[in-house]
């Protein structure tokens, strides 16, 4: 009986003590007497066409779907006795009367007219004046839920993709917390030992056995299992497998999350994962090229292919139109603009990407100077003049306009001939998880070596200067990008860092991961230890994983 599968990672019920004067919280065995916590006095109400009446009340006075209903509610829902429109306004269920709760105007009405039930106009709760408490009647709550859903749809509210109840089209259902059935409640009451994931909890962290030089795999697994969206997807059982055989990598991934959240302290042995990856990505197998970055790409590719079973993945056969969880999280769009130097016509292509590979200073291709005609942005507070190379420097270099030279002329459709051109890369669409790959391993014809240049990377990163849209603004003459503090679309937070120690021939991979907002841990195969933010930021960095800070509604 694994609660974590349906319960999500943390219960939604608050832990603080709440002092509520007018709500009676009686810890009696109400549940065992009647189910749910209803009351007998609703029976007087449940006659004739009560369902429809109740629906109308919810539609007009509680859940306002459209702008008109909202206006009407605002204007007409006022206390018939004192004119207040807040003060916990209630509507009588038996007649058209609005009365505020705070001044007990609705209570007076109930006493005078013997109308025992009223509804709170803000949250739709039903109050019984005989019981003197809010009651929860199953049938009435059902109607309330349905009307609420309709109202949300009318409002045009779409829920973000990370919401477990969202379907492929993005039209959401309001997220409802899990509610146990009577039987489940009984079981839970009899079994009080429960693991609660607090900030000081090890659950979610687990070591991984090295299967023989497989730290390249372990480090990527740690990064993936600590990707919040991916975690939420798997812990809410969103993968519906359509593969006949036992060889679905997504299922194995799901199993991996179960292992990480199982509470086991001994390290997990990811032998099945290795087997699956090697059978599905033959080019990886064998011990010649065990690079963590390659493994990441191969693993994402296999996962993406195996996601066909999920609702989101139905269009998986068309790689440009897939909506599987891998694409939703990891796929970004890279825009490449090739500008003809003669006619200045621009040819644009957009390619999907899962990661950005960045050249480093110290490689055989020169790093400095970055392209002239600066973008002027010191958004992330760094500049190369002050010392260490920064991640922002690398990104600026990545997105600089590059002259392609006379030996690489492009056929220009405007000029109808081969012309010299410049090429520039910018981000058209940023993925939710951005992975930066620092190209530390040089494999040129002459030499093979590791570039150990320290590159400083920030905890928080703003990608705005590297966006295609920013480039357009620059081209339109706005050279100084004013920082829009309210635009949160491009803000990213670091959550995992993969490091490589050693030489090109023999080395070892470890990962720093972030858990519970600001706690960092070092994952070294089977050994997980606590790490400081300083440890993380001082490390060399090979793969840097950033997560979008604010997830917007689509």
Partner 1 sequence: MKMEDMSLSGLDNTKLEALAQDIYSDLVEDACLGLCFEVHRAVKQGYFFLDDTDQESMKDFEIVDQPGVDIFGQVYNQWKNKECVCPNCNRSIAASRFAPHLEKCLGMGRNSSRIANRRIASSNNMNNKSESDQEDNDDVNDNDWSYGSEKKAKKRKSDKNPNSPRRSKSVKHKNGELSNSVNADPYKYNYNTGINYETLGPDELRSLLTTQCGVISEHTKKMCTRSQRCPQHTDEQRRAVRVFLLGPSASSLPDADTMVESDCYDASDGQVLMSRLQWDGSSDISPSDSASSKASTNNSDSKKPKKKKKMSLGLNSTGGGGGGSGSGGGSSSQSSLVGQSNRKKKPKLPVPPAPSIYDNLN
Q: Which helix (H) or strand (E) holds 126?
A: strand 126-128
In the complex, least distance from residue 198 CB atom to partner 1, rounded to whole angstroms: 8
Burial class (CB in 10 A: 0-12, 13-18, 19+), 135: buried
Tell me which residues in 139-178 interact with partner 1 (CB under 8 A): none
Exactly one of 405, 414, 452, 502 binds partner 1 (CB under 8 A); which one?
502
What token pair was written down for 325?
């969880």
Interhelix angle 271-280/292-306, nearest 10 degrees: 80
Is there a contact between 346 and 415 (Cβ–Cβ < 8 Å)?
A: no
Exactly one of 248, 307, 334, 467 binds partner 1 (CB under 8 A); which one?
334
Exactly one of 293, 396, 471, 514 binds partner 1 (CB under 8 A); which one?
293
In the complex, least distance from residue 453 CB atom to partner 1, rounded to whole angstroms: 13
Single out the catalytic residue among 100, 215, 435, 523: 215
Q: Is 298 in the site for partner 1 (CB under 8 A)?
A: yes
Exactly one of 60, 81, 130, 211 binds partner 1 (CB under 8 A); which one?
211
Exactly one of 261, 466, 509, 546 binds partner 1 (CB under 8 A); which one?
509
In the complex, least distance from residue 213 CB atom to partner 1, rounded to whole angstroms: 4
Cα–Cα distances (Å) from 18 to 23, 25, 117, 125, 136, in that order, read 10, 10, 25, 18, 20
Tell me which residues in 431-450 interact with partner 1 (CB under 8 A): 437, 439-443, 450
Question: With CB under 8 A as the contact rule, which of the stretches 115-123, 163-171, 369-377, 460-468 interacts with partner 1?
Answer: 115-123
Q: Is 408 in the site for partner 1 (CB under 8 A)?
A: no
Tell me which residues in 47-106 interact with partner 1 (CB under 8 A): 74-75, 78, 83-86, 88
What token pair was written down for 134?
């809010």
- Select 178 or 479, whichever has its Cβ closest to partner 1: 178
CA–CA separation, 457 vs 475, rounded Å? 28
> Who contacts 160 (Cβ-Cβ below 8 Å, separation ≥6)?
166, 172, 551, 552, 553, 554
Exactly one of 156, 167, 319, 387 binds partner 1 (CB under 8 A); which one?
319
Cis check for the bond before 100: say yes or no (omega within 30 of 0): no
In the complex, least distance from residue 291 CB atom to partner 1, rounded to whole angstroms: 4
Give the CA diameter of the chain.
Answer: 96
Residue 508 catalytic?
yes
Q: Is 34 in the site for partner 1 (CB under 8 A)?
A: no
CA–CA separation, 113 vs 97, rounded Å? 11
Tell me which residues in 225-284 interact with partner 1 (CB under 8 A): 263, 265-267, 269, 271-272, 274-275, 278-283
Tell me which residues in 454-493 interact with partner 1 (CB under 8 A): none
Q: Is 180 in the site for partner 1 (CB under 8 A)?
A: yes
Return the C-alpha torsion angle 494, 498, 502, 507, nearest 10: 180
Q: Which helix (H) or strand (E) holds 69?
A: helix 67-76
Q: Which residues are catalytic?
A: 215, 508
């Amino acid at each position: 009986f694994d609660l974590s599968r349906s319960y999500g990672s943390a219960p939604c019920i608050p832990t603080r003590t709440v002092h509520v004067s007018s709500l009676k919280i009686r810890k009696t065995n109400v549940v065992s007497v009647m189910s749910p916590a209803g009351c007998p006095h609703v029976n007087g109400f449940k006659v004739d066409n009560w369902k429809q009446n109740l629906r109308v009340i919810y539609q007009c006075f509680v859940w306002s779907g459209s702008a008109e209903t909202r206006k009407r509610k605002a204007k007409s829902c006022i206390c018939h006795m004192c004119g207040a429109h807040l003060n916990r306004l209630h509507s009588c269920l038996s007649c058209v009367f609005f009365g505020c709760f705070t001044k007990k105007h609705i209570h007076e009405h109930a006493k005078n007219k013997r109308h025992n039930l009223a509804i709170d106009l803000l949250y739709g709760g039903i109050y019984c004046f005989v019981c003197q408490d809010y009651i929860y009647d199953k049938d009435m709550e059902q109607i309330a839920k349905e009307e609420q859903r309709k109202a949300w749809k009318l409002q045009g509210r779409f829920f973000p993709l990370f919401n477990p109840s969202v379907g492929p089209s993005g039209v959401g259902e309001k997220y409802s917390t899990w509610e146990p059935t009577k039987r489940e409640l009984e079981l839970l009451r009899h079994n009080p030992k429960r693991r609660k994931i607090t900030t000081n909890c090890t659950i979610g962290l687990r070591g991984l056995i090295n299967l023989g030089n497989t730290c390249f795999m372990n480090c990527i697994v740690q990064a993936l299992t600590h990707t919040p969206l991916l975690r939420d997807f798997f812990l809410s059982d969103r993968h519906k497998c359509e593969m006949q055989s036992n060889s679905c990598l997504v299922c194995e991934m799901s199993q991996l999350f179960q292992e990480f959240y199982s509470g086991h302290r001994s390290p997990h042995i990811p032998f099945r994962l290795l087997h699956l990856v090697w059978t599905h990505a033959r080019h990886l197998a064998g011990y010649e090229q065990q690079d963590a970055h390659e493994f990441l790409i191969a693993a994402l590719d296999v996962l993406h292919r195996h996601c066909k079973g999920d609702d989101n993945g139905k269009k998986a056969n068309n790689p440009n139109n897939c909506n599987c969880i891998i694409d939703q999280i990891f796929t970004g769009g890279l825009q490449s603009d090739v500008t003809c130097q003669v006619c200045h016509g621009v040819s644009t292509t957009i390619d999907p990407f899962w990661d950005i590979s960045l050249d480093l200073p110290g490689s055989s291709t020169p790093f400095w100077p970055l392209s002239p005609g600066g973008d002027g942005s010191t958004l992330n507070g760094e500049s190369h003049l002050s010392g260490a190379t920064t991640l922002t420097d690398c990104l600026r270099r990545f997105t600089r306009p590059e002259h392609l030279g006379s030996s690489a002329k492009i056929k220009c459709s405007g000029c109808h001939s081969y012309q010299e051109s410049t090429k520039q890369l910018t981000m058209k669409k940023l993925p939710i998880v951005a992975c930066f790959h620092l190209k530390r391993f040089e494999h040129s014809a002459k030499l093979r070596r590791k570039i150990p240049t320290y590159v400083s990377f920030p905890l928080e990163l703003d990608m705005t200067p590297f966006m295609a849209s920013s480039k357009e603004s620059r081209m339109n003459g706005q050279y100084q990008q004013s920082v829009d503090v309210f635009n949160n679309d491009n803000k990213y937070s670091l959550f995992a860092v993969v490091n490589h120690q050693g030489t090109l021939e023999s080395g070892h991979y470890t990962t720093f991961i972030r858990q519970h907002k600001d706690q960092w841990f070092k994952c070294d195969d089977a050994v997980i230890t606590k790490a400081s933010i300083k440890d993380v930021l001082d490390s060399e960095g090979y793969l840097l994983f950033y997560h979008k800070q604010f997830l917007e509604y689509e």
